[in-house]
Structure 1
Amino acid sequence: MAILEYPQIFLLPLFSFLFLCLWRRSHIRPQRTSLIPINWPLIGMLPRVLREANRIHEFATEVLRESGGTFIIKGPWFSNVEMVVTGDPANVHHILSKNFSNYPKGPEFNKIFDILGDGIFNADKVLWETQRRTTMSLVNHSKFQKFSERTSWNKVKRGLIPILQHATEKGLEVDLQGLFERLTYDSVCILVLGHDPASLSIDLPHIPSEKAFGEAEEAVLYRHVLPESIWKLQKWLDIGKEKKLTKAWKAFDHFLAHCIAMKREELIKRKAQSAQNDHQEEEDLEDADLLTPFLEAYKGMSGESGNCDKFLRDALLSLVFAGRDTTSAALTWFFWLLSTNPLLETKIRKEIKANMTINPDNDKYWRLFDIDVLNKLVYLHGALCESLRLFPPVPLQHKAPLEPDILPSGHRISKNMKTVISFYSMGRMESIWGKDCLEFKPERWISDQGGIKHVPSYKFVAFNAGPRSCLGKDMSFTQMKIVAAAIVHHYHVEVVQGHPISLSNSVVLHMKHGLKVRVTKT
């Protein structure tokens, strides 16, 4: 009688037993020729997804190749989870451009990326349009562009080069990825917040807000894979990846609140001063950070964020996130690819030398490259594009339709169905890039006339596509060229023998173990 009255008591053990049996079977059965996961009764494709969780980007690529570019992942029956994963350029063009209004970030995206609040990455409609319009007007301003170029040069000259020179003289190994992360973090904090954390120095100081990015990004990726109920339980219990995410959240909030408070005090003092600075042009460049105009633009604003301080926190964190990790990841993979292709490194070095101008104030370690010279480095630009194709800093994009839709591939998508675009997989599809898609070929990007070929954004998706395409694309290329030209001209980078190279489990495509290298003078 008790069994009939409380059957649910026995359901969980029954399903657990069935899950373990199927899990064991999936491990001991003979190797299948198909890479597409089995859709098991009750538990769906969860066993295979969990088994591949530590190589999720490679797994998605294998499945998309076999399935023709689009695949539907089915979760356990009790989770009611279905996810569309695609790498088909026609689908990408449809989702990100043609039917853009039907694919906002949506509530599911906001749950997964809740740490970014109402910033430009999460925002939709009026809030997104306001932030994008404001940011675009600031980023495209000539004063800000000059400020950005000068900031990058100064960080390379005063921060990166001394560290590399020290490593060269002492014969030390350095983690190039770590140095790039510090360089881009310092740079973007100066540009966005008007504050230099000074993390890029020989003693490599521990900066909690700088280190928090990696932990936050790893936790966010796992939220894409795990059912919402599981990661929410981890968050409630304050364990696992969610515990690290909470710690990172606190570090971001503390740092941003400090920067905003300092900027407010600075503006108050400035208004109290009546005398003009003799070096007004220099001061203008130093005041070209984005926090100052954001403070003015959103003073007293009470939108979806509820108050101005929270809005500023969310908007600024999104911009710091965009500028710190994407560029550092791109540079890391670029130098790894270059280390495996020494002939291409030589070709880039010759191009730099042929177009180089000498700065009359140069010292024995430094020669400044003019921005016009950087624009002439076509082969370097092509090599950076090729690196971004193979290792896009943001390897996936998450969408959810407002209304049911049919993709160009013929796949039906229901309302609010999680839709993931695998940018990483797209760079490895023969159907998009040809049989040599896995080769590192800068020539792929150079036209017969010697310029850079135009490739549609829905095919080359490193900077997203459609209305949400990256606002800082040109600025990112300039910074990458500045760093790459300085290092390649002065040093030869060699990866430490035996150092493991693998993808990190993160929403930003870092190297899991960093990039340990030795540098020698050229």
Structure 2
Amino acid sequence: MAILENYHYYILLILLPLLVYFCRLADRRQKKPMEPTNWPLLGFLPEVFLNFHRAHDRITEVLNGCGGGTYTFRGPWFSDTDMLFTSDPTNIHHVFSRNFANYPKGPEFRKIFDILGVGIFSADFHLWEIHRKTTMALLTHADFNARLQKTVWEKAETGLFPLLDRFSLDEVDFDLQDVFHRFSFDNICKIVLDYDPCSLSFEMPHIPCEKAFSVVAEPLLYRHVIPQRIWKLLRWLNIGSERKLLECSKAFSEFIYPRIDAACNDGSVLGLFEDVYRETRMDSSTSLVDFLKDTALNLMFAGRDTTSTCLTWLFWLVAQNPTSERRILEELEAELCLQKKWRFFTAEDSHKLVYLHAALCESLRLFPPVALEHKAPVLPDILPSGHQLPPNAKLIISFYSVGRNERVWGKDCLEFKPERWICPSGKIKHEPSYKFPAFNAGPRTCVGKDMAFVQMKMVAAAILYNYHVRLVEGHPVSTRDSIILQAKDGLKVKLRKRNWND
């Protein structure tokens, strides 16, 4: 009997590789050229490992090449990581607008993004509505635009221009993305916490909280594809990407908690959210100070990453398109009446800059700061594409892929063409949020969208008018594999100060 058992064992060893081979061969015969191989037991896991360094582009290839904009990812059979990816605008409109109530952020989202706590990004239902109403009241307040432009121009005058002047004078290359990160971080800290950490200065100090915003984005992407039991084990062991998240969480807490009391004075931004805490009757496990910390952190995430990421890609795109740069400069001269001499301008003035607005929209279309969104239906649902979703199914919307979909944006979708955003009348062309989801879509469209455009126009105009920006030859520029679509190795540039008197 023992010999017979061993015989069967050896037969199995011989047949198993053949089984794997024929399964793979059958899969290849049926699949399209860009389609990943669905391995027995492992699913698409080998595909993930081979392409994680270019995850967003690989997702786009699959969605455009073989899924008609929607495709099911098969995880290992034991992992519960199957998920449906989509970049189909009809699906996006259905999930984010028409059937909005069936797609809250939900418990799975809150597990993945637990670092955000109970802020607006993770909140659902009544808590989210109160968060949104309060934030809208803040952003539409009569004094807000004046406060925003004062904050931006003071930081430009005391931090941005002196630093860029030195880089220009020394003729050294530097990371423009890092400058934008620091500029945005200082601005949002001043607005939310009434505190300027002065990260943008000659010393370029290392501030753990500022750096944590960039670090945290990569481990959060890993949590989408790593089985939950695995990343929870890594967290318990305090190793790998989960250790980075814990270190980031500590950096956020150590920076924000000491400043909450000072930030909650009468009429302050954070002070407005004390009423949110009381109105929503938060459970006893969340104290007021914890709630305010989470609120501040969410607002800081929104204020730092959207503007800095968009500006980084804008300058990369404009540097490769001299015609667009020239048109922006001509518009600044004509609409702001600069007459070869720079001046600060108001939020109201920024609305005149149509071409610059269009260039920012193109940057956001090609490189949306938030590359993907995670959704899960409460009840069973059928998407307009015909795909069925059971309750709590994992649905991943690739905002990055939407902007690179020929069916949505045409054959020239990979080209930088600000003109596509300008109507014959000369005004900005409106595109529905499900086609242009850079600021999310539907009821959860970012309430800070107008604020972001004002700030980005001010910063972009100030730099482009005063300096000629050149890319450092040979420096690689590609997207980072993270939730936030930053440049992986930064954006190395050299500056030459413009002399408008020549």
Give the equivalent residue in structure 2 for 1:323: 303
Residue identity matched to 1:60? I
SS in 2 for 1:320: helix
1:38 equivalenced with 2:37 (yes/no): yes
Note the 1:329-348 alignment, pairs <5 A. 329-348=309-328
Q: Is the 8 A contact 1:53 1:225 kept in 2?
A: no
Q: 1:389 to 1:167 in 2, by over 3 A?
A: same
Match of 1:402 in 2: 378
Contact 1:102–1:401 (CA under 8 A) maintained in structure 2: yes
- The 10-residue stretch of structure 1 (304-313 or 132-141) with the greater mean CA deviation from structure 2: 304-313
Contact 2:87 2:401 survives alignment (8 Å): yes
Q: How does 1:289-300 map to 2 (within 5 A)?
A: 289-295=268-274, 297-298=276-277
Q: How does 1:197-216 map to 2 (within 5 A)?
A: 197-216=197-216
| Aligned CA distance change for structure 1 residues 197 and 301 (closer, same or farther; 3 Å) | farther
Q: Report the CA distance between 1:298 and its aligned residue.
A: 3.4
Structure 2 counterpart of 1:311, from 291, 296, 321: 291
2: distance between equivalents of 1:227 and 1:89? 28
Structure-2 separation of matches of 1:495 and 1:485: 18
Does residue 69 in structure 1 map to residue 69 in structure 2? yes
Partner residue, 1:112: 112
Q: Hey, what does 2:6 align to over in structure 1?
A: none
**How far apart are the structure 2 equivalents of 1:73 and 1:206?**
40
CA, structure 1 residues 297+79, in 2 after alignment: closer, same or farther (shift >3 Å)? closer
The residue aligned with 2:434 is: 458
| CA distance, structure 1, for counterparts of residue 297 and residue 280 of structure 2 | 18
Letter in 1 for 2:244: K
Residue 481 of structure 2 corresponds to 505
Displacement of 1:229 after TM fit?
A: 1.8
**Offset of 1:370 from its aligned partner?**
3.3
With structure 2 as the length reference, what TM-score do the two structures score?
A: 0.91
SS of equivalent to 2:71: strand
Q: Give the whole-Å Cα distance in 2 for the aligned partners of 1:462 and 1:148.
A: 22
Confirm or deny: 8 A CA contact 2:310 2:369 kept in the other structure: yes
Alignment TM-score, normalising by the size of structure 1: 0.88
Paired residue type of 2:229: S
Residue 386 (structure 1) aligned to one of 349, 362, 373: 362
Q: Secondary structure at the match of 2:234?
A: helix
SS of equivalent to 1:519: strand
- Tell me the amino acid that sits aligned with residue 124 of structure 1: D
- Give the 3-state SS of the residue equivalent to 2:286 in structure 1: coil
Task: In structure 2, give the amino acid aligned to 1:329.
Answer: T
Q: Quote the residue 2:98 is aligned against.
A: 98
- Structure 2: how far apart are the matches of 1:172 and 1:428? 35
| Paired residue total | 483
Give distance in 2, aligned partners of 1:324 and 1:346. Answer: 28
Q: Which residue of 2 aligns with 1:279?
A: none
How far did 1:18 drift?
A: 7.1
The reply on whether 1:156 has 2:156 as its aligned counterpart is yes
CA distance in 2, matches of 1:336, 1:72: 33
Determine if contact 1:357/1:368 at 8 Å carries over to the other structure. Answer: no
Amino acid at match of 1:229: R
1:314–1:380: structure 2 CA closer, same or farther, 3 Å change rule? Answer: same
Take 1:80 and 1:60, find their aligned partners in 2: how far apart are those partners?
19
- Give distance in 1, aligned partners of 2:150 and 2:282: 35
Q: Name the CA distance, whole Å, in 1 between partners of 2:208 and 2:44.
A: 38
* Structural RMSD (CA): 2.6
Q: Distance in 2 between matches of 1:441 and 1:189?
A: 34
Query: Structure 1 CA distance, aligned partners of 2:343 and 2:81?
Result: 56
Q: How does 1:246-285 map to 2 (within 5 A)?
A: 246-263=246-263, 267=265
Residue equivalent to 1:271: none
**Counterpart position of 1:50:** 49
* Contact kept? 1:357, 1:370, Cα under 8 Å: no
Shift of 1:135: 1.1
CA distance in 1, matches of 2:69, 2:48: 18
Give the Å deviation of 1:365.
Answer: 8.6
C-alpha contact 2:209 2:252 (8 A) present in aligned 1: yes
CA distance in 2, matches of 1:34, 1:423: 23
Counterpart-to-counterpart distance in 2, 1:368 and 1:119: 34
Q: CA deviation at 1:33?
A: 6.0
Partners of 2:363 and 2:397 in 1: how far apart?
Answer: 19
CA distance in 1, matches of 2:379, 2:353: 46
Structure 2 Cα separation of the partners of residues 263 and 474 of structure 1: 24
What corresponds to 1:274 in structure 2? Answer: none
Secondary structure of the equivalent of 2:433?
Answer: coil
8 Å Cα contact 2:263/2:269 also seen in 1 = no
**For residues 409 and 248 of structure 2, what CA distance do their matches in structure 1 show?**
38
Deviations 1:331-384 (A, max 9, x none): 00000000110121011111111122459xxxx995212333321111111111
Amino acid at match of 1:63: V
Q: Is the alpha carbon distance of 1:444 and 1:288 closer, same or farther for their aligned partners in structure 2, counting shifts above 3 Å?
A: farther
Hey, what's the Cα distance between the residues in 2 that align with 1:507 and 1:259?
27
For 1:318 and 1:235, the matched residues in 2 are separated by 22
Does residue 355 (structure 1) correspond to residue 354 (structure 2)? The answer is: no
Q: Pick closer, same or farther for the CA change 1:366–1:259 going to 2, 3 Å.
A: farther
- Identify the match of residue 347 of structure 2 among 343, 357, 371: 371
Contact 2:332–2:353 at 8 Å: present in 1 too? yes
Q: Bigger shift: 431-440 or 51-60? A: 51-60
Deviations 1:65-116 (A, max 9, x none): 0210000111111123320100000000000000000001111111110000
Q: Residue 91 of structure 2 aligns to a residue in which SS?
A: helix
Give the Cα separation in 2 of the matches to 1:415 and 1:301: 27
Percent identity among equivalent residues?
A: 53
How many angstroms apart in 2 are the aligned matches of 1:371 and 1:113? 33
CA distance in structure 2 between the aligned counterparts of 1:83 and 1:297, rounded to whole angstroms: 35
Deviation at 1:39, TM superposition (A): 1.9
Q: Which runs of 5+ in 2 are unaligned?
A: 3-8
Q: 2: distance between equivalents of 1:382 and 1:59?
A: 27
Q: Secondary structure at the match of 1:79?
A: coil
Partner amino acid, structure 1, of 2:329: R
For residue 130 of structure 1, give the secondary structure of its aligned residue in structure 2. Answer: helix
Residue deviations 1:39-86 (CA, integer Å, cap 9, x gap): 222221211122212211001100000210000111111123320100
Q: Contact 2:126/2:280 (CA < 8 Å) preserved in 1?
A: no
Question: Shift of the alpha carbon at 1:464?
Answer: 0.7
Aligned residue number for residue 5 of structure 2: none
- 8 Å contact from structure 1 (residues 147, 288) kept in 2: no
Q: Which residues of 2 match residues 144-223 of structure 1 at below 5 A?
A: 144-223=144-223
